Amino acid sequence: MKYAIQVNYAPWQSQGLETAYQFIKAALARGHHIVRIFFYHDGVLNAGLWQPAEIRQRWTTLHRDHGIDMVLCISAAQRRGLVNPEVDMEAASACGMVEGFRVAGLALWVDACLQSDRVMVFG
């Protein structure tokens, strides 16, 4: 089964982020494929370098060990000060964010949904 995952929670908002992370780990352990994790709304704050090491390490490990594409919504990231609107997407992805994240538009979320058997939204 192929999943597209959307995360809308900031690390401090609720148990929802932990639920999303545990769901992803369980799906991978059962041999399922995660097409993409799309961070939207306050979820983009998970990519900030100021987050606790545990939060940063979780996402980096998922990206490194499983090659999961982790995308931040560029509009949400701009509104929350993660991305300078004057900088192009490639440059924005390279600075100020945890390893493994990249910045892109909603088109990648739509693409992930079209490629997936199931769509899960946390938040």
For residue 101, the surrounding DSSP H or E stretch is strand 101-104
Query: 10, 24, 71, 73: which is the annotated catalytic residue?
Result: 73
| Number of alpha carbons in the 13 Å side-chain half-sphere of residue 56 | 10
Strand order of the β-sheet with 33-39 is: 101-104, 70-73, 33-39, 2-7, 118-122
What residues are paired with 39 via a beta bridge? Answer: 7, 72
95 is catalytic: no
Structure tokens at 16: 């929802």
Active site positions, annotated = 73
